[in-house]
Amino acid sequence: MPAISTNDLRNGITLNLDNALFTVVEFQHVKPGKGGAFVRTKLRNLRTGNVLERTFNAGVKVEQAILDRRDMQFLYKDGDDYIFMDTETYDQLPIKPVALGDAADYLVENAVAQIATYQGDIVTVEIPASVELTIAQTEPGVQGDRVSGARKPATLETGKVVQVPLFVNIGDRVKVDTRTGDYITRV
């Protein structure tokens, strides 16, 4: 593992601290009037998503984790596993739903995701910030029911339920924010 100095920390760098992987969200190099310099950081745990603040003395060595990031295409669901194909080598890789997290709610066949692995273990699955999906089931909009901002539940083709405006019907394609699960617009 390459060790880097805390003076070299940058946003987005992945660190291996206390047998857990953290990515640097924010850092600040502080040189007080007296005493030694230090680096104040905000770190996000890649497994749990929790953010913690940690302070390091300047110049201390920390272990950098090198993640292997690959673009992979979702092919199909086999039982509980999601089968992905590496877009360069065409190797197929089964991935458990636990490793996918919330990304599983937005995956349709042929969707591309970036999968980061560390020492053979899947660390994160990154999908686009928004996806276009088809409405599989929803209540029909009632003529004359035009309350501004009113919402109704709709089930997407992936099984995820989102709140959509009253004018959205079955078969409509909608854009959904994958970070929050919110309806963006009809396409």
CATH code of the domain covering residue 137: 2.40.50.140
Question: How far is Cα 173 from Cα 108, in angstroms, rounded to an integer?
Answer: 13
Whether 42 and 7 share a structural domain = yes
Which pLDDT score, from 0 to 100, does residue 3 have? 86
Whether 136 and 154 share a structural domain = yes
- A 10 A CB-CB count for 125 gives 21
Question: How far is Cα 132 from Cα 139, in angstroms, rounded to an integer?
Answer: 20
Whether 110 and 138 share a structural domain = no
- Whose structure tokens read 């300047």? 58
- Residue 32 belongs to domain with CATH number: 2.30.30.30
Q: What are phi and psi of 46, to 5 degrees?
A: -70, -25
Strands 38-45 and 51-57, bridge-based pairing: antiparallel
> Which residues of the chain form beta strands (DSSP E)?
3-5, 14-17, 20-30, 38-45, 51-57, 61-63, 68-78, 81-86, 92-95, 112-118, 121-126, 130-138, 151-156, 161-165, 173-177, 183-186
The amino acid at residue 130 is S
Q: How many domains does the chain have?
A: 3
Whether 72 and 119 share a structural domain = yes
Instruction: Among 76, 93, 126, give the residue marking a domain's end.
Output: 126
Instruction: Among 102, 126, 150, give the residue marking a domain's end.
Output: 126
Whether 93 and 136 share a structural domain = no
How far is the CA of 145 from the CAs of 94, 141, 142, 148, 171, in angstroms?
46, 7, 5, 9, 20
The amino acid at residue 4 is I
What's the domain range around 115? Answer: 68-126
CB 138 within 8 A of CB 169: yes
Whether 76 and 54 share a structural domain = no
Which pLDDT score, from 0 to 100, does residue 146 have? 63
Whether 121 and 135 share a structural domain = no
Which pLDDT score, from 0 to 100, does residue 103 have? 86
Instruction: Per-residue pLDDT tens, the chain, 187 aa: give them.
Output: 588 888 888 888 899 988 888 989 899 988 888 888 899 999 988 877 788 999 998 888 999 988 888 999 999 988 888 999 998 999 998 888 888 888 888 888 898 999 988 888 888 888 888 999 999 998 886 666 666 677 889 999 989 999 998 888 889 999 999 888 889 988 8
Instruction: Among 24, 45, 63, give the residue marking a domain's end.
Output: 63
CB 13 within 8 A of CB 23: yes
Vertex 90 angle, CA 87 and 94, to 5°: 95
